[in-house]
Each structure stands twice: as structure tokens, then as C-alpha cells.
Amino acid sequence: MRMRPIVETDIDELQALARETGVGFTSLPDNREFLAARIASTVSAFEERTPVDQRLYFFVLEDEETGRLAGCCAIEGQVGRETPFYHYRLGTLAHSSVQLDLHRTIDTLFLSSDHTGDAEVASLFLRPEYRGGDHRHQRNGALLSMMRWLFMAEFRDRFPEKVLAEMRGVFDERGRSPFWECLGSHFFPLDFDEADKLTGLGQKSFIGELMPKFPIYTPFLSEAARACIGEVHEHTRPALAMLKKQGLRWEGYIDIFDGGPTVEAYIDDVRGVRLSRRCRVEVKAGALEASPRPRWLAATTGMAGFRAAWLGRGPDEHGVVTLDEGEARRLEVASGDTLRILDTEEEA
């Protein structure tokens, strides 16, 4: 299994992935034209033909044995540059009066575009057949999630100060968002799916036009809607846990539609960015000892032909990492090349 930038010929497989993602997965709509544009944008970004603030880096997880795509993930160079990027910020207002012997704090949602200009990690999807069960030992989900930190560390000057990730919010058993039902539905003449779809397609101007501009006092929301604020869909919990382990934190920003949390960090503080380092490659023929569970994550250091994969072992005390021929082939490196390596189990 290896990660590589998406290419034009992946379009059919990508659309198949998009079809599998479902509601609430805004960034991967089942729309061929849109997906083709995403691919074109990625190709241009990896060729460094696009300005850094408009780049999309879209990666796919490739099953070398079958040639199938097992999953995908992306990095947006900067959000909110071409279309507005909205959140609600959960804030606190004190309502206090000495005369009334009253001191209460009221949670309030403020419409915000505070994250304009931040990088975003997004669109992470792993096909069910590559998760859990027999595949648990492969750590495909971790590969998808963490390889982005190596990419950002390697090309640090292409990214801004901060990074964020929007997590999918809570939906009930009928696939409805209680947060949307209580808030968004009053202001948008659409159902959640339609609104979500337009957002996914980047057609977001309607949000600014129709969304309430004044803060929302959360006591006016239903209990079910309040319970969604900053909560993730149960399927999203492992992904959130992985990001939190990297140092991303919830700072009170939520999705304006489903109330799901947005987690964020300064890129330089992200564990994978901070702890990954460059190593010299030595390729050895024959079988090499390998850890039973993937631990060392490797990424190449060139923008063009970028690859990432698990390695069976880490670097020695001289900073040299030894690869077997299969690993070298997977990453398309030879002795003397450089790899960026992250020990994913090292204590921060």
C-alpha cells in the first residue's frame, strides 16, 4: 500500500469512492465534473503551477497488488481564499447583575470566518474493505491521516501558520442532523443534503446570504441540537482521536450545518511535523527484519513523484534508513536518496 498524488486516470476510481462516502462528507461529492476539476487542480499544484494559496493536494492510497484505490485524503493549501469559509465559534457571554444576584454564562454561536487562510486536511476516506479485520495490522487509516504531516513538514514554506480539520457531526438513525433541523432549516429553503452538496461543490455564497448574521444564543436551541455542538459522528471518532494525538485541538469552532467540531493547530506544533526528520536511504537485497506492526512512516522529498508508505524499520544512529527492494520500489527511491521518516510511536 502506498500514497501518491492523484492523476487524471484515477477519475473512475475516485468517483466510485465518492459514491461510497455518503451524507455529511462534504468535500467528496459524487459529481464527475467536480472531481475532474479536483484532479486537474492537484496535478497543477504538484507541478507548482498554482499560487501556494490556491493549491489542492489530493492523495490516493493505492493497493499495488490490485491497482485499486483503497482510500484518499487531501490538503487544501489555504481555505477561504476563493470562496468564503464559515464556522460558528462557540463563545461565552456573561450575564451578570449584582442587583439581581445573578451570574450566568450563556453559550453563544458567532458566525466567523476566522480560519480564512489556514491550511486544511480533509477528504480522508478509506474503503471499508481496507479497514479493521484482517487489515487492522496494515494501519491504512493512520497512513492516510499522518502522511500529510510529513508532506507539510517537507514543503513547510508552501503552507501557512495553522492547519485545521473539519469533523463530521452527529446524525440520528434516520440520517438527519438535529443541529440542522433546529437551526439551519429555519434559514435555508433546502434540506441538509442539498445544502451540504452545494457546499461540497464549493458553491457557498448562499451561506453568507442566508445564514443568521447575529449570534445565536444556544439556550434557544433544542436539547438535541445543543448536544450536537462540537460532537462528532460515531464513525468519525477514530479519525478525530488520530488528529488529537497529533496535537490538533477543538477551539470552539463548529460546522454551521451539522455542528461538528473543527480541530486545529499551529503546523509547527503538530507532532508529525515536529518529529519527522530526513534520513539517507540504503537499499539492501534480500529479506530484512521488519516490525510486525507498521511504525515508521516514510515520505519522499520531491514534490513531483511524491510517495509515502510504511517502512519495516527505522533509521540507525547515523540517520541512515535501510530499505528492502520492495520498499524501495514502492517509494521509488534508491540508495543515496533522502526520505522523511516519522516514528509514529515515539513519545512526543
Q: What are 58's three cell numbers?
A: 489530493
Which of residues 91, 117, 215, 238 is near another protein by CB under 8 A? Answer: 215
Answer yes or no whether residue 95 interacts with another protein by CB under 8 A: yes
Which 108-137 positions form the footprint of another protein (CB under 8 A)? Answer: 108
**In contact, 28 and 18? CB cutoff 8 Å:** yes
Among residues 299, 307, 291, the alpha carbon closest in space to that of 339 is found at 299
d(CA 209, CA 21): 28
Answer yes or no whether residue 150 interacts with another protein by CB under 8 A: no
Stated as kind and residue range, the H or E segment containing 94 is strand 87-97
Which of residues 216, 224, 227, 275 is near another protein by CB under 8 A? Answer: 216
Q: What are 234's three cell numbers?
A: 460515531
The piece of 25-33, 214-222, 232-240, 294-302 that touches another protein (CB under 8 A) is 214-222
For every residue of 9-63, DSSP letters joined together read: GGHHHHHHHHHHH-TT-TTS-S-HHHHHHHHHHHHHHHTT-S-GGG-EEEEEEE-
CB of 187 to another protein, least distance (A): 7
CA-angle at 207, arms to 202 and 212, nearest 5°:
165
Q: What are 1's three cell numbers?
A: 500500500
Q: Is 233 annotated in the active site? A: yes
CB of 82 to another protein, least distance (A): 15
Q: What are 206's three cell numbers?
A: 448562499
Look at strands 296-300 and 308-311 and give their pairing: antiparallel
Among residues 211, 209, 208, 263, the alpha carbon closest in space to that of 240 is found at 263
Which of residues 51, 84, 132, 219 is near another protein by CB under 8 A? Answer: 219
Task: Give the three-state DSSP class for 284.
Answer: coil
Which of residues 209, 223, 317, 347 is near another protein by CB under 8 A? Answer: 209
CB of 189 to another protein, least distance (A): 5
Catalytic residue among 135, 233, 235, 318: 233
The piece of 38-46, 69-77, 180-188, 323-331 that touches another protein (CB under 8 A) is 180-188
Among residues 150, 182, 169, 199, the alpha carbon closest in space to that of 307 is found at 150
Which of residues 43, 210, 288, 290 is near another protein by CB under 8 A? Answer: 210
Nearer to another protein, 160 or 202 (CB): 202
**In contact, 60 and 38? CB cutoff 8 Å:** no
Please name the residue that has the C-alpha cell 445565536. 216
Which of residues 113, 205, 291, 335 is near another protein by CB under 8 A? Answer: 205
Nearer to another protein, 176 or 274 (CB): 176
Which of residues 212, 303, 329, 343 is near another protein by CB under 8 A? Answer: 212
Look at strands 277-283 and 320-323 and give their pairing: parallel
Which 292-331 positions form the footprint of another protein (CB under 8 A)? Answer: none
**In contact, 129 and 101? CB cutoff 8 Å:** no
The piece of 14-22, 156-164, 219-227, 229-237 that touches another protein (CB under 8 A) is 219-227
Answer yes or no whether residue 104 interacts with another protein by CB under 8 A: yes
Q: How many residues in the shown chain lie near another protein by CB under 8 A?
A: 30
Which of residues 7, 20, 96, 320 is near another protein by CB under 8 A? Answer: 96
d(CA 88, CA 216): 9
The piece of 24-32, 202-210, 312-320, 326-334 that touches another protein (CB under 8 A) is 202-210
Answer yes or no whether residue 34 interacts with another protein by CB under 8 A: no
Nearer to another protein, 66 or 92 (CB): 92
Q: If phi over 0 gives left and psi between -120 and 50 gives alpha, with beta otherwise, what is residue 41?
A: alpha
Residues that bind another protein in the complex, under the rule CB under 8 A: 95-97, 99-100, 102, 104, 106, 108, 182-183, 186-187, 189-190, 198, 203, 205-206, 209-212, 214-217, 219-221
Residues identified as active-site: 233
